């Protein structure tokens, strides 16, 4: 992989950097935003742009090129009996086996191709092992169990097998079984389970290549020249007695930190998630949790531009005590009149859980008034639950306060606002 750092960067043209040719830079700030006692780990991370020539606008995303945790790479090499210093060839050229496993392939999670390859490695040799299959329902619950009686009630057992070859056949023939199996296992787990051996070259053919991760930028370049800032939720969990987590988030939090180690980045421009051209236009922003990231950038830009448009931010998380990200900054915007209104939804600060969609409906009359006056509406965050609930809340607001039928309200929100006028904009994931 071509790494351009420091002095090699002089005179680099804007837009030269990409996923295939990232700019390698340092993290200058990396600190936890959560208050004491929080079960979450949300970090503010700042990257220096140096003399890269990189620029961005609010609404853009930053691509981060992650690397695998050293302990996983070391364990993988040990299990397979490979020589870490041997020279291998990958899609990024020649390098040591250790570097190839750390930088070129995603070894923190297993691929379907790898499981399918077990059909050539595992035979019905009479080897007896106890194997248990589980299926799971997707949700927010975390679990860690090795015995069926320890599993949560929503997890149901499927038929076990004493023969490893039968187990492999079952996985290959049943897509859902394959998905469930891979949900809680990486290459190390599977290699141990089946005692399967591969050459480095065989493994490279089966493993997925490292892919960059995109994060909504949480800063305005006008307000922070030479820097780009992120709001990142660090993903950590445990299965089968081993700690695991998100590849890029743990890489930034644990391995990079504030060290001198460099990380590859590039800009991913948005085509649609942009501020109104008219700076006097009102905007409503809904960004719970780390979804606040682009709206911190929006607010910095709106303050810098000095327009007359009003800004209304809906934000929430579990508790005001532990998840009130950027509290001092938000309060200063309110004090200075830059933020017209700030509406919060702390889901666990009272007996009944309250979310941003509930707050939207509580303020439905005023939200509708803003819509009628041409306000833009933005949402950032979870696509599966939150964004759907907020979308439904907007339709219900149009019904109740706009006097529309269900069909007309749906048409107004989904076609008029979203597609024709392009003033209902989403950054969801």
What are 357-371's pLDDT values in tens digits? 999 999 999 999 999
Length of the chain: 429
Contact in structure between 165 and 124 (CB atoms under 8 Å): yes
**Of 71, 104, 17, 62, residue with least CA distance to 186:** 71
235-254 average pLDDT score: 92
Region 12-66+212-268: CATH code: 2.40.30.10
| pLDDT tens profile 144-193 | 444 444 555 555 444 445 688 999 999 999 999 999 999 889 999 999 99
Start and end residues for every CATH 3.40.50.80 domain found in the chain: 283-428
Instruction: Supply the CATH classification number for the domain 283-428.
Output: 3.40.50.80
Residues of the chain with CATH 2.40.30.10: 12-66+212-268
Phi, psi of 307 (to 5 degrees): -75, 170
Predicted pLDDT of residue 11: 38
What global pTM score does this model have?
0.86
With a CB cutoff of 8 Å and minimum separation 6, the contacts of 399 are: 405, 406, 409
Class of domain 70-206: mainly alpha
Give the whole-angstrom CA distance, residue 68 versus residue 186: 12
The tokens for 28 are 């200058």
pLDDT digits (tens, 9 = 90+) for 17-73: 999 999 999 999 999 999 999 999 999 999 999 999 999 999 999 999 999 999 999
CB 212 within 8 A of CB 66: yes
């Amino acid at each position: 992989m071509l790494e351009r750092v420091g002095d090699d960067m002089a005179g680099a043209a804007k837009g030269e950097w990409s996923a295939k040719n990232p700019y390698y830079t340092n993290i200058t700030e990396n600190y936890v935003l959560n208050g004491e006692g929080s079960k979450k780990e949300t970090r503010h991370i700042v990257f220096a742009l140096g003399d890269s020539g990189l620029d961005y606008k609010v609404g853009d995303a930053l691509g981060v090129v992650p690397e695998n945790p050293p302990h996983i790479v070391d364990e993988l090499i040990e299990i397979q009996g490979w020589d870490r210093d041997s020279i291998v060839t990958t899609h990024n050229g020649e390098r040591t086996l250790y570097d190839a496993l750390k930088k070129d392939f995603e070894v923190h999670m297993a691929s379907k191709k790898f499981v399918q390859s077990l059909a050539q490695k595992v035979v019905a040799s009479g080897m007896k092992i106890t194997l248990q299959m589980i299926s799971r329902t997707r949700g927010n619950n975390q679990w860690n169990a090795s015995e069926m009686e320890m599993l949560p009630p929503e997890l149901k057992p499927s038929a076990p097998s004493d023969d490893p070859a039968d187990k492999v056949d079952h996985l290959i023939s049943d897509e859902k079984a394959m998905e469930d199996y891979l949900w809680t296992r990486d290459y190390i787990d599977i290699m141990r389970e089946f005692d399967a051996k591969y050459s480095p070259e065989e493994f490279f053919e089966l493993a997925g290549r490292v892919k960059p991760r995109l994060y909504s930028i949480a800063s305005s370049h006008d307000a922070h020249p030479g820097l780009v800032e992120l709001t990142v939720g660090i993903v950590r969990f445990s299965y089968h007695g081993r700690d695991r987590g998100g590849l890029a988030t743990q890489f930034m939090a644990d391995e990079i930190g504030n060290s001198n180690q460099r990380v590859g980045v590039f800009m991913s421009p948005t085509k649609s998630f942009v501020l109104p051209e008219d700076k006097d236009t009102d905007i409503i922003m809904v960004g719970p949790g780390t979804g606040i990231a682009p709206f911190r950038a929006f607010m910095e830009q709106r303050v810098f531009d000095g327009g007359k448009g009003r800004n209304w931010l809906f934000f929430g998380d579990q508790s005001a005590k532990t998840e009130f990200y950027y509290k001092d900054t938000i309060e200063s915007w309110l004090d200075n009149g830059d933020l017209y209104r700030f509406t919060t939804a702390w889901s666990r600060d009272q007996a009944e859980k309250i979310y941003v969609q509930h707050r939207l409906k509580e303020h439905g009359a005023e939200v509708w008034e803003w819509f009628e006056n041409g306000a833009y509406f933005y949402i950032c965050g979870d696509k599966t639950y939150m964004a759907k609930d907020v979308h439904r809340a907007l339709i219900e607001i149009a019904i109740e306060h706009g006097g529309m039928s269900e069909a007309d309200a749906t048409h107004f929100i989904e076609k008029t606002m979203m597609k024709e006028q392009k003033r209902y904009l989403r950054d969801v994931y």
